Homo-oligomer: A and B are copies of this chain.
Amino acid sequence: MVKRPADPTNASAPTARHVPMRDFSRSLPMSLLRAREAVMRQFRPALREHGLTEQQWRILRALAAIEAAEVTELARTAFLLGPSLSRILRDLEARNLIERKTAKADQRRSMVSISKEGVKLMASVAPSSEAIYAEITQRFGARKLVELQEMLGELELCLASTEAREEITDDA
C-alpha cells in the first residue's frame, strides 16, 4: 500500500519491503486455502447442526463407502494423519457411530466399521450435503468444476514424487 522509495535512514519508520517476494495474496497455497475455505463455509453449518465436524464427516463417508477398513487404510482414504484419526475414532466410538474389533490374524490391526447409528446419522446429513454440493456445482458450472478438479489432481500428481529424496539431497 505504501510505495515509498528506499529509505536508508529507517530508524523511526517501521521496516518493510526489504525482502521482495511475489505478491503475497496470489501465492498458490493462499489461493488453495481461500478456495477451500469458501467451499467449506458452505458445508460447516449443516454438519454442525448434526454435531459433526468436517473430519468426522469425512471418516463416516469413507466408512460408508468401504464396509470396513483398517485404521491405516482409513487414514489414507479420509486423508487424515494417524494421530488425528486415533483421537477422532475414539470419540466416534464413544458416540456409538462406529465399531471396531481387533483383527484375529494380526492383533496389531483393528478393523473399523460404521455402526447402525452411524448410518442413520449419515442418512440424515447426506441430503443437505448433496444439496449444497449441487448448488456449488450450479454456481460455478459443472464443466468448469470438472476442469478444476482435473487441474488439482495434476498438481498433486506432479508434486507427489518429491517427498522421498529428502534423505538424499539433505547435504546441508
- CB within 8 Å of B: which residues of A? 1-2, 10, 13-43, 45, 49, 54, 58, 61-68, 77, 79, 99, 113-116, 118-119, 122-123, 126-127, 129-130, 133, 136, 139-140, 144-145, 147-149, 151-156, 158-160, 162-163, 166, 172
Contact = CB atoms under 8 A, between A and B. Distances in A.
Nearest to A10: B116
Q: Which secondary structure dominates chain A's binding surface? A: helix
B155 A151 contact: no
Contacts of A99: 14
A114 B49 CA distance: 41
Q: Assembly of this chain: how many copies?
A: 2
* 4 nearest A-B residue pairs (beta carbon): A14-B113, A32-B36, A16-B67, A35-B152
Contacts of A38: 155-156, 159-160
A32 B26 CA distance: 16
A128 to B, nearest CB: 11
Contact of A79 (B2, B37, B162): B37
A140 B153 contact: no
A119 B18 contact: yes
